[in-house]
Amino acid sequence: MTDTGTDAKQGSYVTAGSEFTRDTDYITTRITATGAGQDEYPVEADRYRLVVARACPWANRAVIVRRLLGLESVISMGMCGPTHDERSWTFDLDPDGVDPVLGIPRLQDAYFARFPDYPRGITVPAMVDVPTGAVVTNDYRQMTLDFSTEWTAHHRDGAPDLYPEALREEIDEVARRNYTEVNNGVYRCGFAGSQESYDAAYDRLFTRLDWLSDRLRDRRYLVGDTITQADVFLFTTLARFDAVYHGHFKCNRSKLSEMPVLWAYARDLFQTPGFGDTTDFVQIRQHYYIVHSDINPTQIVPKGPDLANWWTAHHREQLGGRPFGDGTPPPPPVQAERVPADHAAPQG
């Protein structure tokens, strides 16, 4: 089976007897500082729109990085709803179901504006060129790295260095292993088409989570003493673990809240501006339990788990580290981009 897990693509996610394989053939066009390379667009303020869905962990990464770096004033953001049909993510949260900047009801319209016969899944996040209405890239990993390295002229004062040059090799290696075993590993569990493939994915997932617990036992962050892209990449999976992956994807050896080190690490990040305030638990549950009807045919969305414990003390500051290095926390999100209070973890 080949699919992206959070794209809009006709057909079942689970194929009996097969192992889940993610389609990683993304649009590799980049937006760079000069735009001088082949198949590159130039960095320009107010030219591009980042289209996301809060439910999607890959899109959530881009939302967090954009906010930490202060790119809200130069890259606008369009938000799709938590569910999609077999054709496309849709702008059903907007008045009349149309994105107010791009003027389209479906994200597929931006893909087709550049590739009329685009054959693959319509994925978020996607950067769209507003003047032409055409998608530029949906390569979520490179997109967030480019936010750090190519958009520096537009970073806010006090923006953290999420991808420090001296640590990039280690960040890339840690993030690569986390992707194969954890970020994508939960999907390989959930969309496994055989007992054998599920068992293998399950064992690989929890072996890596145990490794991460050991690594983070005496260090606050994954690489170095500040938040990096590696932490952002891992956080969006951990934030969904108890709400979705533990039950819906059968990743049920332990809840995140039963893994003390990872649970404290996740709470530390969640309570850091830019992380928890971009996490919409209602949309997360709606997406997985409604869209994946082959796993959850009733499409009943669970009410739990209780979210208040995300705000309990984590004591990770005792390990040292400086979340933003020499930088500063981002300001509160603008009103239009705030997660509704009834979709967020309640503070005591």
pLDDT at residue 38, rounded to an integer? 87
pLDDT tens for 283-322 read: 999 999 999 999 999 999 999 999 999 999 999 999 999 9
pLDDT tens for 141-164 read: 999 999 999 999 999 999 999 999
Under-70 pLDDT residues of the chain: 1-18, 21, 23, 348
Q: Which residues pair with 77 in a beta bridge?
A: 50
Query: Is there a binding annotation on residue 89?
Result: yes
Domains and CATH numbers, the chain: 2-154 (3.40.30.10), 165-343 (1.20.1050.10)
pLDDT at residue 42, rounded to an integer? 98
Task: List the catalytic residues.
Answer: 56, 187
pLDDT at residue 7, rounded to an integer? 54
